[in-house]
Amino acid sequence: MCGIVGYVGPNSSVAVLLGGLSRLQYRGYDSAGLAVLGSDGVLETRKHAGKLKILIDDVDASPLVDGQTGIGHTRWATHGGPTDGNAHPHLGDDGKLALIHNGIIENFAPLKQELLDVGETFTSETDSEVAAVLVGRAFRETGDLTLAMRQVVARLEGAFTLLVVHQDRPGEVVGARHISPLVIGLGDGENFLGSDVAAFVEHTRRAVEIGDDQIVTIRPDSVEVTDFAGAPVDTREYEVAWDASASEKGGWSSFMRKEISEEPDAVYNTLLGRVLDGAVAFPDLGGLDDSVLKSIDRIVIIACGTAAYAGMLGKYAIEAWARVPVEVALSHEFRYSDPILNERTLVISVSQSGETMDTLMAVKFAKEGGARGLSICNTMGSSIPRESDAVIYTHAGPEVAVASTKAFVAQITALYLFGLHLAAVRGSLSAAEVSENLTELQAIPAKLAEVLVASAGIGELAGWMADTRSVLFLGRHVGFPVALEGALKLKELAYIHAEGFAAGELKHGPIALIEPGQIVFVIVPSPRDPSSLHPKVVSNIQEIRARGARVIAIAEKGDAAVLPFADEVIPIPLAAPLFEPLLSVVPLHIFALELATAKGLDVDQPRNLAKSVTVE
């Protein structure tokens, strides 16, 4: 959620911090602030509720002190509302120390009372200010900012990333990580800290992972990482696979519009280098070798939101190809369902950021239960892959818009690749069958490009629906998760009631919602599908049309049977049934974007939402 950036080096810290915060806006926030240590040794802060632009305009009108050490923050409110006073940074040691915080300190109340009892005062409603006061008091006793941080984190419960600066320690930023994300950026005579690499990718593509329960101290010419006990730890450096231009709009009206246009590339890049001579090539599954995969007798896919719908599609594919039972569990429910886990259970976690707190905690729980772990993730160096036995990176590139689009199709692609790999290892598909399915998958990027062209008229369609208050989505089999995804996007972006249903459930209750004028999107399976789902879905269309619904069908080209019963048909190219969702979801992404745009809403930063949900 919160965006965090820290900097030490020769350049203006204000410019570096504001640039980093600008690139971190996608994480979701309701206030922003800076703390800068000037060359005169004075610590100065500035913070405001609202958009980052309010802070930028204020700094432009009344410049902060020019210094080379600083921290910056965008806050997503947890304790205390989105006000100037609750915005970060928070101060300690009589205003000489500034602290920013991502996460939740669960035991802040007794700690705050302890501090009140000894005469400390507070100016905010946040849990974060408690940490600032504690670190300030510890620094007064030790004179060592890293040691002060070590003493304080030992007392904190919850999930947190903390960054602090002190006016007596110029050229030094200290950070601590417990569950919540933090990464180091290595520069030439300068170093950085950030919630993710977007914070500093404009300046360097060299990054270093920070593990859980570790403390980092950066100076212009050094980086020191220890565990919470003070012992040095080994670190791993990696190169960020994209540059700052990839996280910029590049002339598009919104990041979401840009990212929808990149859905063909997201699938292509996820496939790149992983299909060789008609077989899946996974050099990065070392922790899950063939003998382990052959022993697996059950798979659980854990995820939240859009990633859970990708997991549902993964279930259909893996069961069909590898003949292993698969269930899909919401990460935040998984730990509390008393699941049965052992070494023959494979838990596949799906998370774009790799920092989704619910999923991270579920992965740790599964690991403690003896299960094997595979991560499907888009972000190198993130927490969830490090907790897993193996990872499949999606290589979708940075996704800045809060509502996920290209990451969704990339996650499906990665799950399908794994399903085919597992089928080959277990012998449930022949080499020829694996090759045939991979050929289908490799054709998807070009077909997605066709869908983008064919969907050009959706903006006009959405325009006359700007006042619509409810939209329903129906689908069967692999069309059902697509219906759920279409509804979620509309909720996120247009702020209207939207629900996705399994079309077979229609007569079991939801048909009561149908009234004259009700908009219903229907994901129509191919008439070439031997399962005979097509005529069943066409019957569903007739049932809702008879009750006055307005039907918009997503159907493959040449499907003449649906034409007499749908008010609008959005065509998609022909594909085998399991691969249709990769195509049929794109018009729904575009529709949500266009309807929100028609209503004048911010499609990149919907209200109340954050890109990376890093608290439970």
Residue 186, domain CATH: 3.60.20.10
In this predicted model, what pLDDT tens digit does every residue of 380-418 receive, in sequence order?
A: 878 899 899 999 999 888 888 889 999 999 999 999 999
Residue 396: domain span: 249-442
Whether residue 614 lies inside any domain: the answer is no
Do 8 and 101 belong to one domain? yes
- pLDDT band at residue 239, thresholds of 50, 70 and 90? confident
Whether residue 101 lies inside any domain: the answer is yes
Q: Given the DSSP bridges, would you call strands 519-523 and 568-572 parallel, antiparallel or unpaired?
A: unpaired
Q: What is the mean pLDDT of residues 226-246?
A: 83
2 is catalytic: yes
**Under 8 Å CB-to-CB from 329, ≥6 apart: which residues?**
300, 301, 302, 337, 339, 362
Do 270 and 376 belong to one domain? yes
Q: Please name which of 421, 529, 436, 411 lies closest in space to residue 479, comparing C-alpha atoms.
A: 529
What is the structure's pLDDT at 557?
94
CATH number for the domain spanning 557: value is 3.40.50.10490
Tally DSSP H helices, then E strands, for the chain: 19, 26
Whether residue 447 lies inside any domain: the answer is no
Do 425 and 457 belong to one domain? no
pLDDT for residue 244 is more than 80 = no
Do 81 and 217 belong to one domain? yes
Identify the active-site residue in 96, 258, 491, 611. 611
Whether residue 612 lies inside any domain: the answer is no
Last residue of a domain, one of 246, 277, 306: 246
599 is catalytic: no
Joined together, the tokens standing for residue 148 give 């002060």
**Is 453 exposed, middle or buried, given 0-12, 13-18 or 19+ CB atoms closer than 10 A?**
exposed
pLDDT for residue 601 is more than 80 = yes
What is the structure's pLDDT at 238?
85
Whether residue 161 lies inside any domain: the answer is yes
What is the structure's pLDDT at 598?
93
Please give the residue that has the higher pLDDT: either 243 or 573. Answer: 573
What is the structure's pLDDT at 360?
92
Report for 99-103, 509-513, 566-570, 580-584: range of highest mean pLDDT: 580-584
Please give the residue that has the higher pLDDT: either 457 or 580. Answer: 580
Q: CA–CA separation, 159 vs 206, rounded Å?
A: 26
Q: How many domains does the chain have?
A: 3
**Is 78 exposed, middle or buried, given 0-12, 13-18 or 19+ CB atoms closer than 10 A?**
middle
Whether residue 122 lies inside any domain: the answer is yes
pLDDT for residue 84 is more than 80 = yes
- pLDDT band at residue 26, thresholds of 50, 70 and 90? low
Whether residue 424 lies inside any domain: the answer is yes
pLDDT for residue 610 is more than 70 = no
Do 258 and 241 belong to one domain? no
Whether residue 401 lies inside any domain: the answer is yes
Do 419 and 518 belong to one domain? no
In this predicted model, what pLDDT tens digit does every residue of 504-560 receive, in sequence order?
A: 888 888 888 888 989 999 999 988 887 778 888 888 888 888 888 899 999 999 998
Do 169 and 257 belong to one domain? no
Joined together, the tokens standing for residue 500 give 């996705």
What is the structure's pLDDT at 28?
66
In this predicted model, what pLDDT tens digit does every residue of 257-282 receive, in sequence order?
A: 999 999 999 999 899 889 999 999 98
Where does residue 608 fall: left (phi above 0), alpha (psi -120 to 50 degrees), or beta otherwise?
left
pLDDT for residue 434 is more than 70 = yes
In this predicted model, what pLDDT tens digit does every residue of 558-568 receive, in sequence order?
A: 998 888 889 99
**Under 8 Å CB-to-CB from 436, ≥6 apart: which residues?**
none
Q: Is 404 helix (H, G, I), strand (E, B) or coil?
A: coil
Average predicted confidence (pLDDT) for the chain: 91
Q: What is the mean pLDDT of residues 371-377?
A: 96
Identify the active-site residue in 2, 377, 447, 491. 2
Q: What is the mean pLDDT of residues 576-596?
A: 95
Q: Given the DSSP bridges, would you call strands 214-219 and 183-186 parallel, antiparallel or unpaired?
A: unpaired
Residue 515 is given by DSSP the state -
What is the structure's pLDDT at 273?
87
First to last CA, the chain: 11
Q: What is the mean pLDDT of residues 36-59?
A: 90
Last residue of a domain, one of 418, 442, 466: 442
pLDDT for residue 283 is more than 80 = no
Q: Is 489 helix (H, G, I), strand (E, B) or coil?
A: helix
Q: What percent of the chain has pLDDT over 70?
A: 97
- pLDDT band at residue 153, thresholds of 50, 70 and 90? very high
Do 240 and 92 belong to one domain? yes
Do 405 and 544 belong to one domain? no
Please give the residue that has the higher pLDDT: either 104 or 92. Answer: 92
Joined together, the tokens standing for residue 615 give 């608290």
Least confident of 12-21, 134-143, 312-321, 503-512: 503-512
**Under 8 Å CB-to-CB from 610, ≥6 apart: which residues?**
1, 27, 28, 29, 76, 402
pLDDT for residue 614 is more than 60 = no
Do 179 and 48 belong to one domain? yes
Do 17 and 67 belong to one domain? yes
Q: Which segments within 43-129 are labelled E, that is strand?
A: 43-49, 67-75, 90-92, 97-105
Do 175 and 289 belong to one domain? no
